[in-house]
Amino acid sequence: MKNIRVLDSEDLPTNTSSNEHFQAVVERARSRRGFLKSGLGLSAAVFLAGPLAACGGSSGSSGDGGSETPPETSLLGFKAIPVSTEDTIVVAEGYTATPFAPWGTPLFAGDPDWKADGSDDAAAQARQVGDNHDGIHFFPISGSSSEGLLVMNHEYTTAGGSGYQWLFGVDGTEPWTADKAHKAINAHGVSVIHIVRNGEGKWEIKLDSHYNRRITASTEMELTGPAAGHDLLKTTDDPTGTKVLGTFNNCGNGWTPWNTYLTCEENFNNYFGTTSGNDQRDEVQKRYGLSAQGTGYRWEEFVDRFDYVKEPNEANRFGWIVEIDPFVPNSVPKKRTALGRIKHENAAYRLTGDNRIVVYMGDDQAGDYIYKFVSDGTFKEGGDNSALLDSGRLYVAQFEDGAASGDFMGTGKWVLLDKNENAALLADNTNFPTQADILIKTRMAADLVGATKMDRPEWVSVHPTSGEVYVTLTNNSGRAEDETDDANPRAANRYGQIIRWREAGDDAAATTFEWDLFVLAGNPVKYTDRADLKSGSENITVDNTFNSPDGLAFDQEGRLWIQTDGNYSNEGEYEGQGNNQMLCADPASKEIRRFFVGPRECEVTGIAFTPDSKTLFINIQHPGEDGDSHWPDGGASLPRSATIVITKDDGGVIGS
């Protein structure tokens, strides 16, 4: 996901280990199956269509925005739409998309409206919807599809052309004050919003609801699980190592079957710098990408805990998955240390046959890894599951080129990150004397055990019936041209891909799996020769081309919804790709159609449905981050992140 644009920390690898990269594994698997080994001369269709051939063929939509009548067996019941470069939202024919709850919307009755000149203070922002909406989930009240709690992340604050220009209006950061720093702190975090559908079918915020809540970067939270209380989590203000103020850079999300919300701390590193003027980072701080000196957010200038020299352990208290109970307004959010400390993108759960919970997670940085957590305890319907995420086994993925069954490309295994059961970790008492050290320094533990480097793992989603797990590898645009070889056929992998795997024996707790490539994003508008890997796989066409898949989610009927956070220049390598968008794929046929396009310079992110699948909530993040948008209010207004409510005009199921 995005962050202050001058940083782009996800694209800068901090992984200096010699661990193998996934592309090298792909090349060996491809070679083993008898495919051509000719670098850019390799047909993109052969690259993917061979392993997926048993799933059927694919075709894109027509260039006029329509498509041929879909086959009766297709999951995609809508006409595809063309790209857009306009400063507006566009949705498929027969659907209505309405902006809802933009940044600054009051959550409490009697509070004044958001001030369009950016002059709201820190106290006002603490009671308003936060900035840069991201992961989102709808929790129905009593099973209703017309009333529930909409819970969403607010990842960061848009920098714009002159630093924080949207948050503070025309004055920007001049002068930079403590109140401005705290306003930025309060624009981060999570919103819990009680929403209802009125008699006219329109969604509204119930302003007098006791459920409405803002959780910010200064809200008190609790560290739980095996690492809680460890010396590396203790600070001047919290000598117990169990109490933390805030959560921030909350990217994707997850939820649990016991109705709690999981918010994921991603680029937390960008908030920690120093006013000392010197780079004093230790190896752990470097591996997690902390700023050497000052940060773009500048919180360290007024709040000492964000200065890593003054408080060297504070950064260790971030990079966790945080569990929130939205139905208990005064509940303390819990940072679940058993799930490891990485730059969490999102969290997707599945239950094992014996009802243990499995959580899949990606670490969103070039060259980092994919993880899963398997709980020790079991989920009890209607029972007490409040500590279920505090004890379990944490694994990291190692992809291999072994012979797989059916149409899959390779095999893999889950490597246990356990002090007592992993020989490499057991032998290293310097870096990992205890299991808590492994959880606090998860990246370094994964380095040691030989995890497979990936191209920025983003959202993970589990198919509702097959149990197959899909993950977006958004891109690796930093790969140099002179690093191209058979193992890395696309220099500067600008377009990204989606991979999938199935666990051995359909057991979510299995320690082995088989993997496959679902789609290789590309640009056949720019690269018309389909023998060029940059044109994408066979199911990418001039009508559905996209780059940087990011958000990912299945609906109840098994449609795979794909959201993008990529380059929106619509020129050069990205010619013909337009603004960022949301597409939908049929996993069986591999067909992909464009469903929605966002306004200029935005990211499309966050996916949530009502129980009846007739309302879809998505988010528009950082519209106009480079200064070329006035969405959603138009005119000369400040651009604002907002939720989009999508319904089908005939009242039917979304996507049908």
CB atoms near residue 86 (< 10 Å): 12
Q: Which residues pair with 425 in a beta bridge?
A: none
Mean pLDDT of 482-487: 40
pLDDT single digits (tens) 390-431: 999 999 999 999 999 988 999 999 999 999 999 999 999 999
Label residue 203 by pLDDT band (50, 70, 90).
very high
- pLDDT recorded at residue 34: 53
- 3-class DSSP state for residue 493? strand
Kindly give the pairing relationship between strand 334-336 and strand 220-224: parallel
Do the beta carbons of residue 185 and residue 216 sit within 8 Å?
yes
Closest to 549 in 3D by CA, of 561, 531, 533: 561
pTM above 0.85, yes or no: yes
Label residue 69 by pLDDT band (50, 70, 90).
very low
Closest to 593 in 3D by CA, of 512, 539, 520: 539
Label residue 13 by pLDDT band (50, 70, 90).
confident
Distance CA 483, CA 23 (A): 12
pLDDT single digits (tens) 563-621: 999 999 999 999 999 999 999 999 999 999 999 999 999 999 999 999 999 999 999 99
Distance CA 632, CA 89 (A): 9
Closest to 438 in 3D by CA, of 423, 417, 414, 416: 417
Label residue 65 by pLDDT band (50, 70, 90).
very low
Q: Report the residue count for the chain.
A: 656
Q: Rounded to whole angstroms, what are the CA distances from 401 to 32, 95, 194, 277, 474?
A: 8, 44, 48, 47, 22
Distance CA 331, CA 326 (A): 8
Residue 324 sits at φ, ψ, to 5 deg, of -125, 135
Q: Name 650's Cβ contacts closer than 8 Å, sequence gap at least 6.
A: 94
Do the beta carbons of residue 638 and residue 619 sit within 8 Å?
no
Percent of the chain with pLDDT over 70: 89
Kindly tell me if the per-residue pLDDT of 35 is higher than 80.
Answer: no
Do the beta carbons of residue 340 and residue 333 sit within 8 Å?
no
Distance CA 461, CA 467 (A): 9
Closest to 517 in 3D by CA, of 491, 540, 544, 551: 540
Query: Would you call 354 exposed, middle or buried from its count of C-beta atoms within 10 A (0-12, 13-18, 19+)?
Result: exposed
Closest to 206 in 3D by CA, of 353, 108, 348: 108
Mean pLDDT of 138-154: 98
Tokens 């948008």 found at: 629
pLDDT single digits (tens) 503-550: 999 999 999 999 999 999 999 999 999 988 899 999 999 999 999 999
Mean pLDDT of 206-211: 96
HSE, side-chain direction, 13 A CA sphere, residue 284 = 20
Q: Which two tokens stand for residue 573?
A: 């390598």
Label residue 303 by pLDDT band (50, 70, 90).
very high
Q: Which residues pair with 196 in a beta bridge?
A: 147, 204
Label residue 160 by pLDDT band (50, 70, 90).
low
Q: Rounded to whole angstroms, what are the CA distances from 459 to 341, 342, 619?
A: 17, 14, 15
Sign of the dihedral defined by the CA atoms of residues 430, 433, 439, 440, in that order? negative
Q: Name 591's Cβ contacts closer than 8 Å, sequence gap at least 6.
A: 58, 59, 60, 74, 76, 539, 585
Kindly tell me if the per-residue pLDDT of 66 is higher than 50.
Answer: no
DSSP string of 204-235?
Answer: EE-TT-TT-EEE-TTSEEEEESTTTT-GGG--
HSE, side-chain direction, 13 A CA sphere, residue 550 = 31
Sheet strands side by side (includes 261-265): 243-245, 220-224, 334-336, 321-324, 261-265, 250-255
| Alpha helices by DSSP H, 381-517 | 423-427, 435-440, 442-448
Label residue 159 by pLDDT band (50, 70, 90).
low
Kindly tell me if the per-residue pLDDT of 487 is higher than 50.
Answer: no
| Alpha helices by DSSP H, 562-620 | none
Label residue 48 by pLDDT band (50, 70, 90).
very low
- For the chain, the 3-state helix, strand and coil shares in percent, each to the nearest 5, are 15, 30, 55
Kindly tell me if the per-residue pLDDT of 53 is higher than 50.
Answer: no
Query: Would you call 34 exposed, middle or buried from its count of C-beta atoms within 10 A (0-12, 13-18, 19+)?
Result: exposed
Kindly tell me if the per-residue pLDDT of 50 is higher than 70.
Answer: no
HSE, side-chain direction, 13 A CA sphere, residue 385 = 20
Distance CA 492, CA 161 (A): 26
Average pLDDT, the chain: 90
Q: Name 567's Cβ contacts closer than 8 Å, sequence gap at least 6.
A: 494, 547, 548, 573, 574, 577
Q: Which two tokens stand for residue 107?
A: 């959550």
Percent of the chain with pLDDT over 90: 82
- pLDDT recorded at residue 51: 33
Lowest mean pLDDT: which of 48-52, 90-94, 516-520?
48-52
> 604: which DSSP letter?
E
Mean pLDDT of 451-461: 95
